């Protein structure tokens, strides 16, 4: 199947770049990946504090149903450096291939930038203003974090979507 092959080729391409990463860059990648995971988990916790799961269940997770192909080479690098088992996408339902039966196949700390930084009005309206500011501050830090990881691969190949 075309999408499965694209996925496998994309994963293999980034894994090859990761394997060739010199030790000095690998030593820089580790703390950057850890910081990225922690920041994403913190953003998810912030949204969860206003019962995001209930709001998402109520609307049917429309953002995930229409979102697609957000997972990038940088996201895969965080899996690789963490030695985390990679999920298996689903290409059989016409929806986001990373959407499982009930929820995203990707744990919050590894979720793509577009997914972890999106909060709909339903959720944002429930958050105190200082928490909204904190959320968008973390979004800016996360964007910088992506750039720092991508810069370890000056010849490119990790910044774009895998699909």
Q: Which residues would be at the binding site for ligand SF4 (CB under 6 A)? A: 64, 67, 70, 96, 98-99, 104, 106, 111-112, 115
| CB 115 to ligand SF4: min, Å | 3
For ligand SF4, the closer of residues 89 and 152 by Cβ is 89
- Contact in structure between 110 and 142 (CB atoms under 8 Å): no
Closer residue to ligand SF4 in complex, CB, 101/130: 101
Q: How far apart are CA 134 and CA 127, in angstroms?
A: 10
Residues 6+ apart with CB under 8 A from 34: 82
> Which residues does residue 72 pair with via DSSP β-bridges, in sequence order?
161
Residue 83 Cβ, how far from ligand SF4 at the closest point, in Å?
A: 21
Which CB atom, from 111 or from 152, has the smaller least distance to ligand SF4?
Answer: 111
Q: Which is nearer to ligand SF4, 7 or 152 (CB)?
A: 7
Q: How many CA atoms lie within 13 A of 135 on its CB side?
A: 23
- Closest approach, Cβ 101 to ligand SF4, in A, equals 11
Position of tokens 């799961």?
53
């Amino acid at each position: 199947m075309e999408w499965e092959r694209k996925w496998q080729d994309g994963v293999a391409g980034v894994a090859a770049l990761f394997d060739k990463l010199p030790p000095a860059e690998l030593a820089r990648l580790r703390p950057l990946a850890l910081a990225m995971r922690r920041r994403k988990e913190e953003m998810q916790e912030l949204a969860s504090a206003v019962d995001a799961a209930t709001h998402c269940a109520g609307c049917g997770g429309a953002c995930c149903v229409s979102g697609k192909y957000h997972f990038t080479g940088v996201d895969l690098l965080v899996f690789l450096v963490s030695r985390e088992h990679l999920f298996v996408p689903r290409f059989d339902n016409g929806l986001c291939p990373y959407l499982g039966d009930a929820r995203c196949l990707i744990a919050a700390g590894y979720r793509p930038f577009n997914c972890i930084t999106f909060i709909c009005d339903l959720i944002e309206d429930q958050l105190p203003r200082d928490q909204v500011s904190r959320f968008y501050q973390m979004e800016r830090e996360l964007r910088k974090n992506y750039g720092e990881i991508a810069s370890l691969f000056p010849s490119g190949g990790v910044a774009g979507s895998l699909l």
